[in-house]
Amino acid sequence: MSFVDTLRQWDDGVTCADKQDYSEALQILLAIREPNSKICFNIGCLHLLNQNLDDAEKAFDCSIRKDEHLAVAFFQRGITFYKKMRYDESIGDFQRAFKALRGNNLIDYKALGLRYILYACEVLHNMALAEAQLGNWDKAEQNLRKALDYKTEAKLGILEKAQQAVLKEKLFKLVEFPSKMMFKPNKNYVAELEKKDYLGKAKVVASFNPQDVFSGFAPLQPQVEDGPATPREPEVFRALEGEPHTVLFEFVPETCDELAVKPGNMVFVLQKGADNWAYVIFNGRTGLVPYNYLERQEISVASKHKKGLVPTSSREAPSIPERIQGYTPENNSSRNDDQTVPDSLYIVKVHFTFTFAVSIPRGASYEVLIREISKKVNLPTHKISLSLDSRGQSEIDANTDMETVWSQVRAGRITLWCNAKEQNEEEETHLVALHSYQSPNPEDLSFKEGDEITFLARINQDWLEGRCNGNTGIFPASFVKEVPVNGQ
């Protein structure tokens, strides 16, 4: 199915849902052969409206596999598990939704086509309710106290009511996503469905002069009085080292780490992966694009004398390659419960931010198990923890008797939960702001002189990543200095 056909069916389905014709909307969206994460999310919401919890769970599974950073999909699947009275799994998904908020009070999905704001305090509220259903009143109270740190004035009322209920060991009302709301396709694409040839007829929209010191793919950076000059964004320097390519085909992203490009755009390839996806920069923005949608360009001084259009192809766009990270087709083997497991192996299904399966030799040591899982989640072994349950109460580590773990195997299969370990507070590096830094870029961290910043990572010589006042982002290294945790 072409992009145009997918876009048209997506728009038709959402239009039917807006008219409250949910049955027709569901049939239209289910007919899309290769739905993206947002379409799968819409399908799950429609199933929830019909109280079809099993199909809703499968749709949200699909949405999360296609975009493991979509916090609202974890939130909706958590609600689905709650309604199925699978409270442990519900808590796990609410935890993943909260983690995807990255310390922010909320995520506004308006820019992605969904008129909905996901609040961190509401995620914690539902997590507390699921704990209460299990009789864990102390944990429910802890989650509600934590929710107060992320509260907004509009949400204070529901938190106060929940706290009063917990003190009396009574249940309270679940905060639900309004399932009538749908991710809508980009209105500009929809408006031009009948007007535009998506495969060609595009003019050069980005060109540059080889004699320039900088080719102009990034906006001016903010400056501060009496402070150091802000270095250019780290991606800009890398772009000058990247390889210029021309975009041959329209590409519309399906996940938040992919980048929208059109035929004729000039992009710089920063890195090409083994899965045939390229990490590129275009107009100051970075993201992933299928490499088979690009054509390498040799840029020389003589190129500025060339006039005319960028050649475009009249053939159909090639198929989009599979992504290696996150979900891959072989990871889905665990969903086939009828598949025979070889006598020499265990199939270990692992719940992380996405669900995957690994094959482990029977009776394997902890080191073998953790190493295989480490490869899948792309984290070092000391940065992850394993457990036999979703809340981490039955933790598995190097001191665990693995015979006890493998005794839980049924029909050659076992399910484990995996989490990324939080950095210990004693190991944190703290910085203090020497100058105020304000930036309009959403990925930057703004702060005031004297603010304390928790160091998270070094991007390059000039830029750091950190957390301040509940927000996470990058900032110039010259604007801060390190201070010991003990204040000496």
**Distance of alpha carbon 77 from the chain centroid:** 15
Residues above pLDDT 90, as percent of the chain: 26
| pLDDT value of position 173 | 92
Considering the four listed CATH numbers 3.30.420.40, 3.40.50.620, 3.40.630.30, 2.30.30.40, the one that applies to the domain covering 228-303 is 2.30.30.40
pLDDT at 61: 93
Question: What per-residue confidence (pLDDT) applies to 215?
Answer: 42
422/427 Cα distance (integer angstroms): 11
Please report, rounded to a whole number, the percentage of residues in the chain having pLDDT higher than 70.
74
Give ranges for CATH 2.30.30.40 in the chain: 228-303, 425-483
Helix (H) or strand (E) holding 346: strand 345-351
Higher confidence at residue 283 or residue 361?
A: 361
Residue 205 confidence class, pLDDT cut points 50, 70, 90: very low
From the list 390, 376, 294, 381, the residue with the least C-alpha distance to 327 is: 376
Instruction: Give pLDDT tens digits for 310-359.
Output: 444 556 677 777 665 443 333 333 334 444 566 778 888 888 877 778 88
> What is the CA 37 to chain-centroid distance, rounded?
11
Q: Which amino acid is at 472?
A: T
Q: Answer for the pair 468, 430: CB distance below 8 angstroms, yes or no.
A: no
Average pLDDT over residues 32-37: 88
Could you name the CATH architecture of 3-167? Alpha Horseshoe (1.25)
CA 111 from centroid of its chain's CA atoms: 15
Dihedral sign of CA atoms 143, 144, 146, 150 in order: positive
Q: What is the pLDDT of residue 235?
A: 44
Which CATH number does 331-420 carry?
3.10.20.90
Average pLDDT, rounded, for the chain? 78
Q: Which of 431, 471, 483, 456 is nearest to 107 (CA)?
A: 471
Q: Read off the pLDDT band of 6 (50, 70, 90).
A: confident
Domain with CATH 3.10.20.90 in the chain: 331-420
In angstroms, the CA 369 to CA 376 distance is 11
CATH T-level fold of 425-483? SH3 type barrels. (2.30.30)
Helix or strand or coil: residue 15? helix
- Per-residue model confidence (pLDDT) at position 128: 94
pLDDT for the residue numbered 337: 44
Measured CA to CA, the distance from residue 110 to residue 104 in angstroms comes to 16
Sign of torsion, CA 71 72 73 77?
Answer: positive
Round to whole Å and give the CA distance between 110 and 349.
35
> Which residues of the chain form CATH 1.25.40.10?
3-167
Which residues, in sequence order, are CB contacts of 137 under 8 Å at separation 6+? 131, 166, 169
Region 78-94: what's the mean pLDDT? Answer: 94
- Specify the pLDDT at position 227: 63
Binning the chain into helix, strand and coil, the percentages to the nearest 5 are 35, 20, 45
Q: What is the pLDDT of residue 331?
A: 39
Q: What does the block give as tokens for 69? A: 């950073």
Q: Which two tokens stand for residue 319?
A: 């198929």
